[in-house]
Amino acid sequence: MLLGVTWQLARLVAVQKIALKNCPEIYRLLKDGEELNDLMKLPAEDILVRWINYHLRKAGQTRQVTNLGKDLQDSFAIYHVLNQLDKQLCPLTHINDENLTDRANNMIKNSSAIGVPALVSADDWNKGNARVNTVYVAEIFNTRHGLEELTQQEQDDFEKAGIIDDDIAGTREERQFRLWINSLEIENVYVNNLYEDVRDGQVLLKVIHKINPNVVEWNRVEKNPDNNFKKGINCQVAFDACAKLGVKLIGIGATDIQQGNKKLVLAIVWQLMRIHYLQIIGTKNEQDLINWANSCKGNESR
């Protein structure tokens, strides 16, 4: 859990500026038929993948990446991105080196030449670790993203979209619960927007299963909830599983989960987090914790 939380903190620092609010030029990464709201819902990792592919296309390359792990470990993609950011300081001289460690070392030297912090070694890079790569690629983006400034018309469209100051990051509670879920290390679960990501029921079901593997009726779950009816079924299963865990659901229904009701979603997730932490604490109850905290405070004052 400590590793999970530490990773979340490292990621948060690395990607906090990779958002439309802080970098309007991300507008350039919109796909045909998309609106700004669609881009705002993407996690930073998806934005970075689009950014890499944007520069690969500008470099005349047909190759595209789909992740920040294995697709980057041969250094080819980032070598070209760096070259697009600065052709003089980041030449393609060693891009065809057969030794991948040498190739990665030269790629890292190129990134250092434009001011990217030395956060990764060639051996680490060649492992294709998505977490290591995310932090490194985020630092390249933060140092020099190379996206063209918006035209006046694009700036007007951006402002009309009404991107508010706190955008989808939401309240402190939403961020806290989102970080908690992401720290659970659940396979294929990463929450970027708590209220939106729980609406098909699948995230809540996996979180509940992590807390107690015996309460979710998986035979009722729709594995591919591609319509509102299937999402409603999953939300009902999640609702029933919460009840089995002892979550207080007075005034809350499965439809509130599906609709992303902010107040009620927070109420449910808060109780799930509380149950989880009480499991970690063991037989200690809340009063035991209060007494312990007060005793620590008393010892400190003495």
pLDDT digits (tens, 9 = 90+) for 122-181: 999 999 998 899 999 999 999 999 999 888 877 776 666 555 444 444 567 888 898 899
Report if pTM > 0.85: no
Domain boundary among 160, 186, 216: 160
CA 115 distance to own-chain centroid: 25
The answer, yes or no, to whether residue 276 has pLDDT greater than 50, is yes
Domain boundary among 160, 186, 219: 160
Give CA–CA dist 171/262, Å, rounded: 10
**Do 103 and 216 fall within a single domain?**
no
For the segment 15-34, the average pLDDT, to the nearest whole number, is 86
Our count of domains for the chain comes to 2
**Do 25 and 84 fall within a single domain?**
yes
The verdict on residue 298 lying in a domain is no
Predicted pLDDT at 168: 45
Write the CATH number for 25.
Answer: 1.10.418.10
Residue 50 pLDDT class (50, 70, 90 cuts): very high
Residue 299 pLDDT class (50, 70, 90 cuts): low
**Do 45 and 15 fall within a single domain?**
yes
Predicted pLDDT at 169: 44
Identity of residue 238: A
**Do 141 and 195 fall within a single domain?**
no
The verdict on residue 131 lying in a domain is yes
At residue 240, the 3 state secondary structure works out as helix
Measured CA to CA in angstroms, residue 47 lies from 10, 53, 75, 112, 222 at distances of 18, 10, 19, 22, 29
For the segment 2-10, the average pLDDT, to the nearest whole number, is 75
